[in-house]
Chains A and B, each alone.
Chain A
Amino acid sequence: MIPAPFRYTRAATVDEAMQVLQQDSDAKVLAGGHSLLPMMKLRLARPSHLVDVTRIPELSTLKMSSDVVVVGAAVRYAVLSQSRIAEVMPLLTEAVRLIADPQVRHRGTVGGSAAHADPASDLAAVFLATDALFVVASPRGIRRIPAAEWYVAPMVTALAGDEMLVRVEFPQPQPARQTYLKFAHPASGYALAGVAAMLDIQEGMIQHVRLAVTGAGAMPFRARSAEQLLAGRPLAAVRFEEAADAGAKDGEYLSDAQYSEEYRRNLACVMMRRALEKLAAE
């Protein structure tokens, strides 16, 4: 299958990429292309112009400091999984290693996942749990969009047509205990339920609980009810099952031909409970 014809520009700078987006409202940003090109082959997407941003040096940034981890939008999963970011955000590298397969991880990018906004994207749970900030550029300047506002609808983000994602910022420090657990669809490998979980345990008390779920719901979501039930409580006194059950109710679920709404909600609950148990046992 060959995509419909389009123009191609390899941008050298963010400004150059933005110019194309401004001139042509049907232009799309191309990074790894592993979501966009399959859609273009099927004519589910038919952009008139692709702006390749993968060779803009700024977009390949990986920076760590005491207050923030910065990941450029065009950083590929394979690069991220091998990076020193594992030392401060094991959650992120753990999740990235579970995305698709080795070949796809050599092309797919962090920014591409964010901008594509597949509601079963592994990174969606990580972005939500860590309160990541999406730094976007436009002719009006730079703005930061919090993860909680990023995912508007399935495959729709808060990005305006002339805006482009430049980098993702993860505020630091994050809670010390972190994990990403995934129940993958046996054929597609997509998350039927993926849970990003973080917490601290200080003197037997649970603190700073962050839980987010992808794949199970119609949209990725933060399980705040579970967080509220657990935060500040003694580890010995909490029931993870109860918290996970409450957290799962924060999502909205849809039935489809394969899986019922109840099954998906239950899966979110089970995966949250497992993630919490894993972190408590560390």
Chain B
Amino acid sequence: MEARLSIQITVNGKTVSDHVEPRTLLAHYLRDGLGLTGTHIGCDTSQCGACTVLLDGEPVKSCTVLAVQADGTQVMTVEGLAAPGTAHPVQQAFQEMHGLQCGFCTPGVLMLSTWLVQQHQTSDLRHIRESLDGIICRCTGYENIVKAIARAGELAVDEPAAPAASQREGVPS
């Protein structure tokens, strides 16, 4: 085994310092290292997007990022979207529009959707569909996912404030 390397990542607003093997994938570190099992590993080949998290605010597939590559970055997982018991506007929209079936891809879809909402890229349905290129919903429930993302854009305009980082669930301290 190669020597562990020290990393410092801010996950859902909390900074964690740790030592990881170079080959540890970000998805595994989040799930096994930090217990943030909301991030799902679907295909593990960077196809399906279930493991999508925001890295410095940008959607990436965490099964294809090494934890050491995330050193010094800000990571947001589905647990960081809203405080326990509350829902982020994107989550509200998915509930309202029934934007999920089995729910396995949902954490990745929510993170990609959050980025789309933040980029104000939710007004054009065709653009939403294209943006879902990196997400595979094996239930094929794309219609309601597209509607939910469009609705999330509307909700975010009404209610732009996100919960403060300190209120978010997440990293064991």
> Which A residues fall within an 8 A CB radius of B?
1-8, 10, 30, 33-34, 37-38, 41, 50, 52, 54, 78, 100-104, 106-107, 189
B21 lies within 8 A of chain A by Cβ: yes
A103 touches B134 (CB 8 A): yes
A50 touches B22 (CB 8 A): yes
Known: A5-B1, A78-B58, A189-B133. A37 touches B22 (CB 8 A): no
B89 lies within 8 A of chain A by Cβ: no
B74 lies within 8 A of chain A by Cβ: no
B88 lies within 8 A of chain A by Cβ: no
A8 touches B5 (CB 8 A): yes
Cβ of A188 to closest chain B Cβ, rounded Å: 9
A5, A8, A38, A189: the one contacting B45 at CB < 8 Å is A38
Cβ of A129 to closest chain B Cβ, rounded Å: 25
- Residue in B closest to A4 when the chains form the complex, CB atoms: B23
Known: A41-B44, A101-B133. A33 touches B65 (CB 8 A): yes
B66 touches A37 (CB 8 A): yes
B23 touches A103 (CB 8 A): no
B46 touches A7 (CB 8 A): no
Known: A78-B58, A103-B49, A106-B60. A7 touches B22 (CB 8 A): yes
B81 lies within 8 A of chain A by Cβ: no
Q: Which residues of B have CB within 8 Å of A78? A: 58
Q: Per-residue 0/1 for B34-76: is the Cβ within 8 Å of any A Cβ (1 yes, 0 no)?
A: 0000000000111001001001001111001110110100000
A3 touches B68 (CB 8 A): no
Considering residues A2, A107, A189, which has the most beta carbons from chain B within 10 angstroms of its beta carbon? A107
B10 lies within 8 A of chain A by Cβ: no
Cβ of A44 to closest chain B Cβ, rounded Å: 12
B158 lies within 8 A of chain A by Cβ: no
Cβ of A139 to closest chain B Cβ, rounded Å: 25
Q: Which residues of A have CB within 8 Å of B68? A: 8, 10, 52
Cβ of B155 to closest chain A Cβ, rounded Å: 21
A107 touches B23 (CB 8 A): no
Chain B: interface size category: 20 to 34
B23 touches A106 (CB 8 A): no
Known: A3-B23, A8-B66, A33-B65. A104 touches B134 (CB 8 A): yes
- Residue in A closest to B135 when the chains form the complex, CB atoms: A101
Q: Which residues of B have CB within 8 Å of A104? A: 46, 61, 134
Question: Complex: how many Å from CA A134 to CA B25?
Answer: 31
- Residue in A closest to B71 when the chains form the complex, CB atoms: A10
A37 touches B134 (CB 8 A): no
Within 8 A of A (CB), among B79-131: 112, 115, 131
Q: Which residues of B have CB within 8 Å of A103? A: 46, 49, 52, 59-61, 112, 134
Question: Complex: how many Å from CA A8 to CA B24?
Answer: 11
B28 lies within 8 A of chain A by Cβ: yes
B133 touches A38 (CB 8 A): no
List the 5 shortest-distance A-B pairs measured between CB atoms, nearest first: A101-B134, A8-B22, A101-B133, A106-B58, A103-B134
A102 touches B44 (CB 8 A): no
Question: Complex: how many Å from CA A106 to CA B111?
Answer: 14
Q: Which residues of A have CB within 8 Å of B131? A: 102
Q: Which residues of A have CB within 8 Å of B159? A: none
B2, B49, B65: the one contacting A107 at CB < 8 Å is B65
Q: Which residues of B have CB within 8 Å of A33? A: 64-66, 69
Known: A33-B64, A41-B44. A2 touches B25 (CB 8 A): yes
Cβ of A121 to closest chain B Cβ, rounded Å: 16
Cβ of A179 to closest chain B Cβ, rounded Å: 18
Q: Which residues of B have CB within 8 Å of A41? A: 44-45
Question: Complex: how many Å from CA A52 to CA B58?
Answer: 19
